[in-house]
Chain A
Amino acid sequence: MSRTTDLVSHVLGIVGTRADAGVYVRTGTSALTRFANSFIHQNVSDDVAHVHLTVALDNRLASGSTTATTDDALNSLVDRLIEVAAMQPVDDEFAGFGGPVAPREIDHFDEETSRADPDARAGIVKAFVDAGDGLLAAGMCGVDSYTDAYGNTAGRFIDGRMTRVILDGIHQTETSAGSGHSAGPSLSSIDAAGAGKLASDRAMRAIDAFDTKPGEYEVILAPEAMATIAQFLTGYGFSGKSYNEGTSFVTLDEQRFDAAVHLKDDVADPRGLGISFDAEGTPRGTVALIDGGVTPSLLHDRRTAKKAGGVSTGHAPVAGEAWDSRPGGRNLFFGEGPSSEQDLIAQVERGIYVSTFNYCRVLDPKTVVVTGLTRNGTFMIENGAITGAVTNLRFTQSFIDALGPTRVKGIGSNSRFADGEDEPGTVHTPSFHLASWNFTGGVEG
């Protein structure tokens, strides 16, 4: 038994027969080193202990959490939730606590990484900074090591562990910036020098950027830009809660996307990261979200699945890992194509290469019309080659339409983890060549 599983058993023991209950516990370390102006300026480590408890008294629910793991604190949490739950109305949409499950044999964990010290993070940062050859570097290297466990009074008990390393940074000149990223389950999976080289190459190529006229352009979207698209489509469309409420764009089994597009959420993919079960202890399933341009299935927790007449896919968000309570994807993979990114660029007569999107916000969830900007390297493509840098552009574009039927002209073979608008380490994607993108203005007017 680990400290984590001990805590789960202990909390369930405190609850006893007073209520039905489910408890999720995470322990471990979350450490992160930030650098700016080419030196480390903030460097942090959090000794994580998080207990999240849901109690049910005849389908009257209350949930709560604590970072304190003393007997007093846990007793107090249990007593308070039972007291509060007793005063609540009956929740007729509650799907109950799930019974025993067989865990999936998935272990995205590396022993050496779980013991990483601040010197290891500093080493990764140094390699990124040095790759810039004197350019001004900024970014972060985060290393997380968690052991999670879930148990409930219906007999479910499951535990797992994960390590995750994220490197995200930029190199800057006086007038430009370029970004590079790397993520994986271990320190050894991080290509810090490669990410630093990509960032510095982009920054150098983006010097002397010129303004270009807004309008519709063919685009090559690099993995970072595609990661944002995956996150927005998933959050607003593929979540069972959005679908149940009628705010999702999804009509199941209808051709909304180009036949070349495939997107899945799959914690079992060997390239993946994370814990193999969700906040309700349900093993995370492999879910096809776009299969040949069609959405055959959605992401569900127990509650949304009950309402939809299905079963949970294991996507109840773990507290602290999501901005809201919608079932969401954390292991998103776009399907690859056969082309290198250079081959994609070579197909473009006149278009724009976008490294990264920035500050994207949805105007309407039903259409996933999004406004945002380009950042960290935006380039003009003419006659199949990048011919220069352009200043950052604002766009207003439906992400659904951008990937719509006949709109995908090519998909790269250069898949990797990419840092989108939301959390890094959750989307693995290649570059895409899209027929058009609606740029509505230059960043300086």
Chain B
Amino acid sequence: MFDRAEMGVQAAIDAGASYSDARAVLSKQESIEVQNQHLDTLDVSEQIGVGVRSLIGSSWGFASTGDLSDAGLRACGELSAAIAKASAAVAGPMLEFEDVPVVEAFWETPHVENPFDVSTTEKVDMLVALTATMQSVEGVSLAYGMVAGWDTRKWFVSSIGHRIEQHIVEAGGYYTATAIGEHETQIRSYPQSFGQFETGGFETIRRWNYADHAQRIAEEAVALLTAPEMEERETNLILESSQVALQIHESVGHAIELDRILGWEAAFAGTSHLELDKLGTHRYGSALMNITADATIPGALGTFGYDDEGSPASCVDIVKDGIWVGVLSGRDSAAVAGLPSGGMVRGDGYNRIPMVRMTNVGLLPGDGTLDDIIADTDDGVFMATNRSWSIDDRRLNFQFGCELGYEIKNGKLGRMVKNPTYTGITPQFWGSLDRLAGESEWTHWGIPNCGKGQPVQVGHTGHSASPARFANVRVGVKG
């Protein structure tokens, strides 16, 4: 497939592009959904095509096609350049490009069982059994489960000589139990509400021992219907690790995207409260806060060999001892900002232009365990598993809701409470981080549905996290 991508690049260069690159992509996806022991969806999809990116002046042009003939690819490359040229009608400053080493390489996700080699019957049977277990709990109205797998092969070439082939394998899933009251629904999920997705094969799903948790999840959903509402107040907030992961995603991960900081996403996703002249001095959080963007973590969802500009995967410090020190960047945004390129640019399939994307943006672990943190808390609340998430366009003001809450009194979990929510302002919230569990509970959570860009692209991102405590947080916000 290298020759298909090269055909597009050469056509773009012949048409006047100062630089061009292309990805040929063959990706397969399988998604299986079961509801109440009934197979709801069994979908197998395949994408194959080439996307050609061309730079002329201040603008990228990008064109994609599923027509892999010589004529189709030359037309695609020429259209890519023509689109870049048309942008001159509303031109900006000349776009520079951070240099990266030219590489010829192959990289593959380590995996044991390719998810496409596991029979659909086994997957369906597993989900039917899970939903049966959940439905056996009186009061459960909807029992749902899904698993999905991706197998993606990419061939990247550039006009400066890159030739990189990658084979990325991803898998994951989740299940939920929903109990429906007269004027409310309550839901519990496992492993988490967005699903847990990782790079690797079907073994990543087996590792979570789905069957061991279905009964508990169902019972919790039903119990929530009669649990009291969480009281509105300011208190100590302890979050389980998947909610910490989403907190990182929303209030750190997007805020540190350099394209947002530069205003390139201003109209849609938004900008950032971060200002580049404060890089290295801005206090993002307490001294316990150490964040990295590490695309090399084995098994994490944001792990790869090379990004979609041919830059090698890297680990970059983002927040060190509470101080903001790094950004997520690509070759063009880094050059504009005068920073080194981070190699964090990816596109969603062959037909989307690559853009700055989170890799594995994670919070490094602290010490002890969740039980230790609860035992050290006289008064507070515990929340688990995200149910709702909202944050403003500068990634400053957020409000999250979780599926499950507990009161904490004198170092012990107390009553279960429903509809737990909390709200805060990003730097104050992270500044109140005062306990962080250690490596034994550090989990590489994966989020498979991060939307960004126009046309919208769905990204796969990773967020390592352990349970954490935050002081003086406003909880129990009511509608």
Contact = CB atoms under 8 A, between A and B. Distances in A.
B90 interface: yes
Interface string A361-380: 11111110111110100000
A35 interface: yes
A362 B187 CA distance: 13
B185 A443 contact: no
Interface in A31-59: 31-47, 49
Nearest to B86: A118
Contacts of B296: none
Interface in B180-213: 180-181, 183-185
Contact of B425 (A35, A62, A445): A445
A88 interface: yes
Contact of A444 (B42, B82, B267, B396): B396
Interface string B341-355: 000000000011101
| Most-contacted residue by chain B among A170, A325, A362, A396 (CB, 10 A) | A396
B4 to A, nearest CB: 12
Contact of A246 (B91, B180, B268): B180
Contacts of B64: 44-47
Contacts, number: 264
Interface stretch (A100-108, A123-131, A425-433): A123-131
A376 to B, nearest CB: 9
A134 interface: no
A64 B44 contact: yes
A440 interface: yes
B66 A373 contact: no
Given A36-B266, A40-B89, A445-B425, A64 B43 contact: yes
A45 B62 contact: yes
Given A73-B46, A366-B183, A444 B39 contact: no
B34 to A, nearest CB: 10
A36 B455 contact: no
Interface residues of B, number: 82
Contact of B267 (A49, A69, A139, A364): A139
B428 interface: yes
A36 B90 contact: no
Given A45-B83, A359-B391, A87 B477 contact: no
Contacts of A392: 392, 397
Say what secondary structure dominates the interface of chain B: mixed
Contacts of A85: 42
Interface in B396-451: 396-397, 399, 401, 419, 421, 423-425, 428
B55 to A, nearest CB: 11
| Most-contacted residue by chain B among A80, A362, A367, A440 (CB, 10 A) | A440
A299 B395 CA distance: 35
Contact of B392 (A33, A142, A443): A443
Contact of B423 (A32, A39, A46, A441): A441
| Most-contacted residue by chain B among A33, A370, A372 (CB, 10 A) | A33
- Pairs A-B, 10 closest by C-beta atoms: A39-B92, A118-B86, A40-B87, A138-B267, A122-B89, A396-B479, A64-B44, A138-B266, A44-B62, A139-B267
Interface of B: 38-49, 58-67, 76, 79, 82-84, 86-87, 89-93, 119-121, 124, 128, 141-142, 178, 180-181, 183-185, 262-268, 270, 351-353, 355, 387-394, 396-397, 399, 401, 419, 421, 423-425, 428, 454-455, 477-479
26 contacts: A34-B454, A42-B62, A43-B60, A46-B351, A47-B64, A47-B66, A62-B42, A67-B351, A88-B42, A89-B124, A93-B38, A122-B86, A123-B89, A125-B90, A142-B455, A168-B268, A177-B266, A363-B387, A365-B185, A366-B183, A371-B401, A371-B421, A396-B477, A438-B479, A443-B397, A445-B425
